[in-house]
C-alpha cells in the first residue's frame, strides 16, 4: 500500500483549487444575480431593464474558476454598454460585484480584486457624469468607494483566517508525521530489538546445555519483560495523543462536554526512555555497552579521548541509540572470538565515533531478524543533528602464503563539535528509542 504522504503535494494542490468552493461559490453568485435581477425587473419597465449588462456579469461569474480576468473583462464590457446607452440603472444586483471583489481577495487574487474594483467603479460612475448633479455624483462615488474598501477588508480578513487554519492543519499534519516516525523508530529500536535478542538467545539456549541454557532462559525472561514495558509505554503514548486530539474540542460519545487533554503521568515520564536516559553520561553509556555485550560473550576494547567524551555529552541520547543498534548488529553478525572496538576521537570541528567488530563466518542464520530500518532511522536522525553516518566492510589484503583474515565491519559517525573551551550547546534529537 502506497504511503499517503507521497501524494500530499497533489492533495494540497487539489485542496487549494477546491477551497472556498472553486466552482460552487461562482455558481451561487450567478444564481443570486439571477434572483436579484428578477427583483429589479419588477421595479422598472422592461425597456429600461439592463438585461445585457446583467447577462455579461452572470457569464463572468461562471467563468471565474477558469480565469478571473474574464470576470474583469465582462464588467468592463458591461460598463461600456452602460456608457454607450447612457444607462445608470443596475439595481441591487450590482451589490454582488463587491462580494466578488471580497471573494477574489479571500482566494489570494489581490491583483484581480483591485482591477475588478477599479473597473466596477468606473462602470457605475461614468454614466452618471452627465446625468447626476455634482452632489449626487460625489455621494455616489463615496458610497461605492466605501463599499469596495469594506469588500477588500472583508476578503483580507477571510484570507487571514483561512491561512491561519491552513497553517494549523499543516502543523498538525507535521506533528502526526513526526509521531508516526517516532513510533516506528520506537517499535524497531526497542520492541524489535528485544524480540531479535530473544530469538538469538533462544537459539543459543537450544544449542547449549546446562548452566548456559538456564542463563539464556533467564535473559529471555528479562528481555520479554522489557518488551512488555516498551509496548505499554507505546500504548500510553498513543492514548496521550488521543487525549490531546480529543482535548482540542472533541466530546465524549453521548456527552456535550469536551474531554480535556491529559498530561503524561509522572510514572509515564519516569518510564519514558528518553527521560530516563537523559542523566547518563558518555562514560556510563560506554560501560553499559560493554556490560550488555559481555552477556552475549563479546569483549569490548575502547579508546576514548577526554575531549571527545566531553563533546559527545550534547549527543548523549543519540549516542545511546547508536550503541543500542551496534549491540543488536554485533550479536547478530559478529564473531564473539574477536573483541569489539569502540573509538571516540575529536578534531577541531567534529567528534568521531567508530564501532567495529569482526564478522562471523556464519553470519546471521535468520534473515527475518534484519529489517535495515535501524541504521536508516539512525542515519536520518544523525543527519538532522548535522552529522553523517557511514558503514562499511573492511577486508584486509591477503598476503601470499598467509591465512586469510576475517573482514571487519565498521560503523562510523561524525558529529559537529563545539570549539575547544566553548560550552557545548544542547542538541535535541527526535527520540531516544531505547
Q: Looking at the predicted structure, is the pLDDT value of residue 413 above 90?
A: yes
Highest mean pLDDT among 142-146, 215-219, 360-364: 142-146
pLDDT attached to residue 35:
81
- The pLDDT confidence band at residue 139, using thresholds 50, 70 and 90, is confident
Which residues, in sequence order, are bridge partners of residue 391?
A: 411
pLDDT attached to residue 265:
43
Locus of grid cell 443570486:
32
Asked if 77 contacts 123 with a C-beta cutoff of 8 angstroms, the reply is no
How far is Cα 432 from Cα 307, in angstroms, rounded to an integer? 23
Locus of grid cell 520479554:
224
pLDDT attached to residue 111:
92
pLDDT attached to residue 60:
87
- Run of H or E including 408: strand 408-416
* Average pLDDT score over residue span 353-371: 69
pLDDT attached to residue 225:
66
pLDDT attached to residue 88:
62
**Percent of residues, the chain, with pLDDT higher than 70:** 61
Q: Looking at the predicted structure, is the pLDDT value of residue 334 above 50?
A: yes
- Which residues touch 131 (CB under 8 Å, ≥6 apart)? 86, 88
SS3 content of the chain, % helix, strand, coil (to 5): 65, 10, 25
* Average pLDDT score over residue span 111-122: 89
- The pLDDT confidence band at residue 18, using thresholds 50, 70 and 90, is very low
pLDDT attached to residue 416:
93
Distance of CA 395 to the CA centre of its chain: 41
| Pairwise pLDDT comparison (370 vs 123), residue with the higher score | 123
pLDDT attached to residue 366:
52
How far is Cα 179 from Cα 176, in angstroms, rounded to an integer? 5
**Percent of residues, the chain, with pLDDT higher than 90:** 12
| Pairwise pLDDT comparison (326 vs 404), residue with the higher score | 326
Asked if 386 contacts 416 with a C-beta cutoff of 8 angstroms, the reply is yes
pLDDT attached to residue 249:
43
* Average pLDDT score over residue span 169-175: 82
State pTM to two decimals.
Answer: 0.47
* Average pLDDT score over residue span 300-319: 91
Torsion from C-alpha of 37, 39, 43, 44, nearest 10 degrees:
20
Q: Looking at the predicted structure, is the pLDDT value of residue 70 above 50?
A: yes
Distance of CA 222 to the CA centre of its chain: 36
pLDDT attached to residue 346:
93
End-to-end CA gap in the chain: 29
How far is Cα 174 from Cα 286, in angstroms, rounded to an integer? 34
pLDDT attached to residue 432:
36
Return mean pLDDT, the chain. Answer: 73
* Average pLDDT score over residue span 281-295: 88
pLDDT attached to residue 27:
84
Q: Looking at the predicted structure, is the pLDDT value of residue 404 above 60?
A: no
DSSP H helical ranges for 296-406? 306-312, 316-333, 373-384
Q: Which of 148-157, 274-283, 416-425 has the lowest mean pLDDT?
A: 416-425
| Pairwise pLDDT comparison (156 vs 193), residue with the higher score | 156
- Which residues touch 424 (CB under 8 Å, ≥6 apart)? 310, 311, 313, 314, 417, 418
Q: Measuring CA to CA, how many Å separate 67 from each of 15, 26, 61, 78, 332?
A: 18, 12, 10, 18, 63
Which residue ranges form the domains of the chain, and what is each CATH number?
4-131 (no CATH), 277-434 (3.30.565.10)
* Average pLDDT score over residue span 274-290: 73
pLDDT attached to residue 345:
93
**Sheet bearing 340-346, strands edge to edge:** 300-304, 340-346, 350-358, 408-416, 388-394
- The pLDDT confidence band at residue 17, using thresholds 50, 70 and 90, is very low
Which residues, in sequence order, are bridge partners of residue 351?
A: 346, 415
Amino acid at each position: 500500500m502506497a504511503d499517503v504522504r507521497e501524494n500530499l503535494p497533489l492533495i494540497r494542490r487539489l485542496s487549494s483549487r477546491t477551497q472556498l468552493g472553486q466552482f460552487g461559490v461562482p455558481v451561487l453568485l450567478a444564481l443570486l444575480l439571477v434572483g436579484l435581477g428578477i427583483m429589479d425587473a419588477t421595479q422598472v419597465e422592461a425597456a429600461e431593464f439592463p438585461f445585457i449588462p446583467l447577462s455579461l456579469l452572470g457569464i463572468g461569474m461562471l467563468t471565474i474558476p477558469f480565469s478571473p480576468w474574464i470576470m474583469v473583462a465582462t464588467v468592463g464590457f458591461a460598463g461600456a454598454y452602460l456608457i454607450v446607452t447612457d444607462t445608470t440603472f443596475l439595481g441591487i444586483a450590482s451589490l454582488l460585484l463587491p462580494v466578488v471583489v471580497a471573494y477574489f481577495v479571500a482566494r489570494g487574487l489581490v491583483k484581480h480584486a483591485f482591477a475588478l474594483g477599479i473597473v466596477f467603479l468606473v462602470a457605475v460612475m461614468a454614466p452618471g457624469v452627465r446625468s447626476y448633479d455634482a452632489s449626487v455624483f460625489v455621494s455616489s462615488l463615496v458610497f461605492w468607494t466605501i463599499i469596495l474598501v469594506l469588500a477588500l477588508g472583508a476578503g483580507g480578513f477571510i484570507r487571514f483566517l483561512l491561512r491561519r487554519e491552513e497553517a494549523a492543519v499543516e502543523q498538525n499534519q507535521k506533528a502526526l508525521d513526526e509521531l508516526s516516525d517516532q513510533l516506528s523508530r520506537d517499535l524497531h529500536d526497542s520492541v524489535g530489538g528485544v524480540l531479535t535478542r530473544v530469538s538469538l538467545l533462544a537459539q543459543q539456549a537450544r544449542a547449549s546445555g546446562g548452566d548456559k541454557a538456564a542463563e539464556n532462559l533467564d535473559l529471555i525472561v528479562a528481555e520479554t519483560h522489557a518488551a512488555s514495558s516498551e509496548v505499554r509505554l507505546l500504548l500510553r503514548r498513543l492514548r496521550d495523543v488521543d487525549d490531546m486530539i480529543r482535548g482540542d474540542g472533541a466530546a465524549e460519545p453521548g456527552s456535550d462536554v469536551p474531554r480535556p487533554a491529559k498530561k503524561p503521568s509522572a510514572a509515564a515520564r519516569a518510564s519514558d526512555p528518553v527521560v530516563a536516559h537523559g542523566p547518563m553520561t558518555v562514560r556510563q553509556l560506554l560501560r553499559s555497552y560493554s556490560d550488555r555485550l559481555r552477556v552475549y560473550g563479546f569483549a569490548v576494547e575502547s579508546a576514548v579521548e577526554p575531549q571527545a567524551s566531553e563533546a559527545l555529552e550534547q549527543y548523549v541520547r543519540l549516542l545511546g541509540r547508536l550503541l543500542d543498534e551496534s549491540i543488536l548488529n554485533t550479536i547478530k553478525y559478529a564473531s564473539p572470538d574477536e573483541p569489539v572496538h569502540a573509538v571516540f576521537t575529536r578534531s577541531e570541528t567534529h567528534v568521531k565515533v567508530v564501532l567495529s567488530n569482526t564478522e562471523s563466518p556464519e553470519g546471521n542464520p535468520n534473515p527475518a531478524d534484519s529489517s535495515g530500518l535501524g541504521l536508516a532511522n539512525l542515519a536520518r536522525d544523525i543527519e538532522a543533528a548535522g552529522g553523517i553516518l557511514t558503514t562499511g566492510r573492511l577486508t584486509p589484503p591477503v598476503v601470499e602464503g598467509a591465512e586469510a583474515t576475517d573482514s571487519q565491519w565498521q560503523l562510523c559517525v561524525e558529529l559537529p563539535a563545539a570549539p575547544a573551551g566553548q560550552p557545548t550547546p544542547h542538541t535535541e534529537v527526535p527520540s531516544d528509542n531505547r
